[in-house]
Structure 1
């Protein structure tokens, strides 16, 4: 069951592009994970700190002005499973566990 879905257009002037990579910018995986953790925190409440990445696969690069579709659904032990798509390409997928109480 999907818990939350969100679309995000990657700003062409995102500060992460300065180092990833001049002349051929790609969105760093940490930027994608940060958005996923923020979405998971919205669902579960509490702090955005302390989430554990249980699994992640970065499958396809994305860059400036790409429109990304994030989908989170119930996972095991109170966690979430996520996927990120750009059009019909899967960009990333994985799972998170919430902070310990």
Structure 2
């Protein structure tokens, strides 16, 4: 799944003035949306491991790569060949 965060997104003012970057929580929201597009609604998730390696700036194209299946997925958020974030999403009460 590819996505772009609009420069007018309400999360950007103050994060950071003059040099906005997309907050990690917005990236994670897109990851959950990508999983739900394939697996259906998730009722509660855990993120036992997440690493943010590079920033995403508004207007840049990013993509989400997923591995795994319910109840556990591994994700990568990429900009071209650059890894921006990676981690695990666990649905519901799964270990």
TM-score by length of 1: 0.84
**Does the aligned pair in 1 maintain the 2:76–2:87 contact within 8 Å?**
yes
Hey, what's the Cα distance between the residues in 1 that align with 2:59 and 2:85? 17
Question: What RMSD in Å do the two structures reach over aligned CA positions?
Answer: 1.7
Equivalence for 1:21? 16
Q: Which residue, out of 38, 47, 57, partners 1:53? A: 47
2:40 and 2:7 mapped to 1: Cα distance? Answer: 30
1:96 counterpart residue number: 89
User: Is the helix fraction higher in 1 or 2?
Assistant: 1
Structure 2 residue 63 is the aligned partner of structure 1 residue 69? yes
TM-score when normalising by structure 2: 0.88
Gap regions ≥5 residues in structure 2: none
Long gaps (5+) in structure 1: 1-5
Secondary structure in 1 aligned to 2:11? helix
SS of the aligned residue for 2:36 comes to helix
CA deviation map 1:26-65 (0-9, x unaligned): 0000000011112112222234x41100110000011111
Which residue of structure 2 aligns with residue 9 of structure 1?
4
SS in 1 for 2:12: helix
SS at 2:30's partner residue?
helix
